[in-house]
Amino acid sequence: MTGLSRRNLMYMRSFAEAWSEDSTIVHQPVAQLPSRHVTVLLDKLESRKDRDWYATRAAQEGWSRALLEHNIMGQLREREGAAPSSFDGKLEERDARLAQAIAKDPYVFDFLGLGKEAAERDLEQATPSSCATSSSS
């Protein structure tokens, strides 16, 4: 029997603790994901609600592990839930999400490395020369 390293056993225990209430884990989205996806969920997210949300989206949309991690680090769940809309009652779930994403104009500036403390005002007031200077250093 292989795969029983200390690290794998710790992940198995974390998995059992994270989804302990479900006797029907096979029907959960997390059961449809590869083990490396599950380890990302366990390592990066604290709450069961967040893990389930990202597991559902990753399973439905076929996210790679890298994309799953990027979406978690970019707080996709918080960004998507921020814009109010009336699409939910009018369209199917996936179409409603797509319509909401288009309508809310989601800009992600992860590549700028500003961090969470940066304000939109700071970005607006930055001059092109200051951006070029900071990126070249």
| Domain residue extents for the chain | 6-108
Q: How many residues does the chain have?
A: 137
**Rounded average pLDDT over 49-54:** 90
pLDDT of residue 105 exceeding 60, the answer is no
| pLDDT in the model for residue 104 | 58
**pTM for this structure?**
0.52
Higher confidence at residue 26 or residue 94?
94
